[in-house]
Structure 1
Amino acid sequence: MSLAHPSFDSNHSDSSSDGPESDHGVGLSDPLLSQARRRMLDLVNRLHNTGVQIDIDLPQIAVIGSQSAGKSSLIESISGITLPRAAGTCTRCPTECRLSRSDAPWSCTIELHFITDENGQSLGQARNETFGDTIFDKSTVEDRIRRAQRAILNPSKPPRSFLVDIEEDTKEISFSINYISLQISGPEVADLSFVDLPGLIASVSRGGNERDIAMVERLVTAYISKPSCVILLTVACETDFENQGAHHLTKKYDPEGKRTIGVLTKPDRIPRGDEENWLPLIRNEQEALENNWYCVKQPSSQDIRQGITWEGARARENDFFSLTAPWSELDPLYQKYLRTSNLIDRLSSILSDLISKRLPQIQIELENTVEKTRATLAQLPKPPSSDPIAEIASLLHGFVGELHKILEGVPRADGLLQVIRPAQEQFRRAIRETAPDFRPYERPEEGLDDFPFPDPVFLSHEDGGTFHDNSSRTPIFIDQVLGRALAARTRELPGHYPFVVQQSFIAEFTSKWASPAIILCRFVHQTLTQHIKALIAIHFSAFGQGGLEQRVTILVQDYMKQRADAAQALISKLIALEEDGPLTLNEHYLADYKTKFLSDYKSTREKAQNPVLADAIEDHRLVSSPIAYPGIAQVLAGLAAVGLNGIDAEDLVKLLPPDRMDPALNIMADVRAYFQVAYKRIADNIPLAIDHELVRGVGRDLLPTLYRGLGINGPEGLRICRELAQESPSIAGKREELLKRLERLETASRELVTVGF
Structure 2
Amino acid sequence: MSSPRFSSSDADSSPPSSSSMDNIAEHGVGLSSPSLSLARRRMLDLVNRLHNTGVQIDIDLPQIAVIGQQSAGKSSLIESISGITLPRAAGTCTRCPTECRLSRSDTPWKCVVELRFVTDKNGQTLGQPRTESFGDPILDKSKVEDRIRRAQRAILNPSKSARTFLEDDDEDATEVSFSTNYISLQISGPEIADLSFVDLPGLIASVSSRGGNERDIVMVESLVSSYICKPSCVILLTVACETDFENQGAHNLTKKHDPEGRRTIGVLTKPDRIPQGDEESWLPLIRNEQETLENNWYCVKQPSSQDLKQGMTWEEARAREHEFFSLTPPWSELDPMYQKYLRTSNLVDRLSSILSDLISKRLPQIQIELENTIQKTRDGLHHLPKPPSGDPIGEVAGLLHVFIGELDKILEGIPHDEGLLQIIRPAQERFRREIRSTAPDFRPFEDSSLRGRVPSLFADPVFLSNEDGCEYEDLRVAPAPIFINKVMDRALAARTRELPGHYPFVVQKSFIKEFTAKWAAPAQVLCRFVHSTLSQHVKALITLHFAQFGQGVLERNVMILVQDYMNQRAETTQALIMKLIALEESGPLTLNEHYLSDYQAKFLAHYRGAREQQQNPVLAQAIAAFNPEDGPGTDAYGAKPVTWPPGTPTSPQPTGIAQVLSALAAIGLNGIHAEDLVKLLPPDRLDPALTIMADVRAYFQVAYKRIADNVPAAIDYELVRGVGRELLPTLYGGLGINGPDGMRICRELAQESPSVAGKREELMKRLERLETATRELMRVGL
TM-score (norm 2): 0.82
Amino acid at match of 1:672: R
Q: Which residue is 2:659 aligned to?
A: 638
Amino acid aligned to 1:80: G
Which residue type is aligned with residue 682 of structure 1?
Answer: I
CA shift at 1:142, angstroms?
A: 1.5
| Partner deviation per Cα, 1:99-130 (whole Å, 9 max, x = no partner) | 45678876544344455666666474754636
In structure 2, which of residues 705, 713, 716 is the aligned counterpart of residue 691 of structure 1? 716
1:576 to partner: Cα distance = 1.0
After TM superposition, the structure 1 stretch with the greater mean CA deviation from structure 2, 656-665 or 43-52, is 656-665
For residue 346 of structure 1, the aligned residue among 347, 350, 357 is 350
Query: What does 1:566-645 align with in structure 2 at a 5 Å threshold?
Result: 566-615=572-621, 631-632=637-638, 634-641=655-662, 642-643=664-665
For the structure 1 residues 256 and 486, does the alpha-carbon distance in structure 2 shift closer, same or farther, using more than 3 Å as the test? farther
Choose which of 84, 94, 97 in structure 2 pairs with 1:94: 97
Q: Distance in 2 between matches of 1:343 and 1:443?
A: 114
Structure 1 residues 228-627: aligned runs within 5 Å: 228-235=232-239, 246=250, 250=254, 253-254=257-258, 257-263=261-267, 265=269, 290-294=294-298, 296=300, 298=302, 310=314, 314=318, 336-337=340-341, 339-443=343-447, 447-464=452-469, 468-469=474-475, 471-615=477-621
1:728 aligned partner: 753
Q: Letter of the 1:451 partner, please give it.
A: S
- 1:77 maps to 80
Aligned equivalent of 2:148: 145
Task: For 2:531 and 2:62, locate their aligned partners in 1 and report how far apart those are by CA, in whole Å.
Answer: 60
Asked if 2 retains the 8 angstrom alpha-carbon contact of 1:636 and 1:647, the reply is no
Shift of residue 301, structure 1, vs aligned partner? 6.5
Name the CA distance, whole Å, in 1 between partners of 2:175 and 2:236: 30
Alpha-carbon distance in structure 1 between the residues aligned to 2:231 and 2:334: 33
**CA pair 112-733 structure 1, distance change in 2 beyond 3 A:** closer
- Cα 1:414/1:631, change in 2 over 3 Å: closer
Q: Matches of 2:160 and 2:404 in 1, distance apart?
A: 52
Would you say 1:676 and 2:698 are equivalent positions?
A: no
- Structure 2: runs of 5 or more not aligned: 1-16, 640-654
3-state SS of 2:408 partner: helix
SS of structure 1 residue aligned to 2:474: coil
Q: Aligned in 2, Cα 1:624/1:368: closer, same or farther, shift over 3 Å? A: farther
Pairwise CA distance, 1:578: 1.4
Give 3-state SS (helix, strand or coil) of 1:149's partner: helix
Q: Residue type matched to 1:480 in 2?
A: K
Structure 1 distance, partners of 2:504, 2:95, is 105
- How many angstroms does 1:570 deviate by? 0.9
Give the residue type in structure 2 aligned to 1:526. S
- In the alignment, the residues of structure 2 paired with residue 262 and residue 269 of structure 1 have an alpha-carbon distance, to the nearest angstrom, of 18
Q: Distance in 1 between matches of 2:241 and 2:428?
A: 83
Selected match of 2:725 from 687, 700, 711: 700
Q: Give the drift of 1:654.
A: 4.9
Choose which of 20, 40, 47 in structure 2 pairs with 1:37. 40
Query: Structure 1 residues 574, 167: CA separation in 2 closer, same or farther (over 3 Å shift)?
Result: same
Q: State the alpha-carbon separation in 1 of the partners of residues 290 and 486 from structure 2.
A: 103
Call closer, same or farther: CA 1:754–1:29 in 2, change over 3 Å.
closer
Report the residue type matching 2:747 in the other structure.
R
User: Which deviates more, 741-750 or 173-182?
Assistant: 173-182
1:126-165 deviation digits (Å, cap 9, x = unpaired): 546364333343x332212112223334456565554433
**Rg bigger for which structure?**
2
- Letter aligned with residue 467 of structure 2: E
Letter in 2 for 1:381: P
8 Å contact from structure 1 (residues 552, 706) kept in 2: yes
For the Cα contact (< 8 Å) 2:72–2:239, is it kept in 1?
yes
- Tell whether the 8 Å contact from 1:17 to 1:311 is kept in structure 2 after alignment: no
Unaligned regions of 5+ residues in structure 1, if any?
1-15
Distance 1:379 1:412, change over 3 A: farther
- Residue by residue over 1:61-84, the C-alpha shift from the partner in whole angstroms, topping out at 9 and shown as x without a partner, is 223344444433332333333221
Shift of 1:610: 4.0
Cα distance in 2 for partners of 1:113, 1:318 equals: 38
The alignment-based identity, stated in percent, is: 74
- Retained in 1: the 8 A contact 2:68–2:239? yes
Q: Hey, what's the Cα distance between the residues in 2 that align with 1:329 and 1:661? A: 137
Cα distance in 1, alignment partners of residues 624 and 263 from structure 2? 97
Query: Hey, what's the Cα distance between the residues in 2 that align with 1:250 and 1:80?
Result: 27
State the number of aligned residues.
Answer: 741
Q: Distance in 1 between matches of 2:279 and 2:489?
A: 120
Q: Secondary structure, in 3 states, of the residue corresponding to 1:476?
A: strand
Distance in 2 between the 1:712 and 1:455 partners?
61
Report if the CA contact (8 A) 1:536-1:549 is conserved.
yes
Residue 470 (structure 1) shift: 6.9
Q: Which moved more, 1:642-651 or 1:741-750?
A: 642-651
How many Å apart are 1:704 and its aligned residue?
Answer: 1.9
CA contact (8 A) 2:625 2:638 kept: no
Q: Deviations over 1:488-534 (max 9, x none)?
A: 22222333322222222221222122222222222222232233233
- Using the TM superposition, give the Cα deviation of residue 573 of structure 1 relative to its aligned residue in structure 2, in angstroms: 0.8
Deviation at 1:725, TM superposition (A): 2.6
Distance in 1 between residues matched to 2:687 and 2:596, nearest whole Å: 19
Distance 1:730 1:19, change over 3 A: closer
Give the Cα–Cα distance (whole angstroms) in 2 for the partners of residues 63 and 273 of structure 1.
Answer: 29
- Please state how far the C-alpha of 1:745 moved relative to its aligned partner: 2.6
Tell me, in whole angstroms, the C-alpha distance in 2 between the residues paired with 1:208 and 1:656.
122
- Alignment partner, residue 6 of structure 1: none
Is residue 2:175 matched to residue 1:167? Answer: no
Q: Which whole-Å deviations, capped at 9, do the CAs of 1:649-686 have from their partners, x for residues lacking one?
A: 66555554444333333322322222222222222222
Normalising to structure 1: TM-score of the pair? 0.84
Could you tell me how far apart the structure 2 residues matched to 1:479 and 1:270 are?
125
Go from structure 1 to structure 2 and tell me whether the alpha carbon gap of 1:416 and 1:470 turns closer, same or farther (over 3 Å shift).
closer
1:57 to 57, 60, 77: 60
Alpha-carbon distance in 2 for matches of 1:355, 1:49: 15
Report how far residue 414 of structure 1 moved: 3.1
Maintained 8 Å contact 2:118/2:130:
yes
1:264-315 Cα offsets, whole Å, 9 max, x none, are 5556777889888877766767766554555555556777677766456556
CA spacing shift, 1:202–1:621, aligned 2, 3 Å: farther
Corresponding position: 1:738 with 2:763: yes
Is it true that 1:666 corresponds to 2:669 in the alignment?
no
What is the rounded CA distance, in whole Å, between the counterparts of 2:741 and 2:107 in structure 1? 68
Per-residue Cα deviation, 1:27-62 (whole angstroms, up to 9, x for no partner): 368854332332232222222222222233322222
Shift in Å, 1:566: 0.9
The one-character-per-residue Cα deviations of 1:348-372 (angstroms, maximum 9, x if unpaired) are: 2222122222323333433443344
CA offsets 1:314-338 (integer angstroms, 9 cap, x no match): 5666677778888788777666555
Shift in Å at residue 722 of structure 1? 2.6
Task: Supply the distance in 2 between the matched residues of 1:623 and 1:77 (Cα, whole angstroms).
Answer: 127
Residues 640/142 of structure 1: CA separation in 2 closer, same or farther (3 Å cut): same
SS at match of 1:501: helix
Distance 1:224 1:602, change over 3 A: farther
- Separation (CA, whole Å) in 2 of partners of 1:434 and 1:391: 54
Q: What SS does the corresponding residue of 1:98 show, helix, strand or coil?
A: strand
Letter of the aligned partner of 1:142 in structure 2? E
Cα distance change of structure 1 residues 663 and 322 upon mapping to structure 2, 3 Å threshold: farther
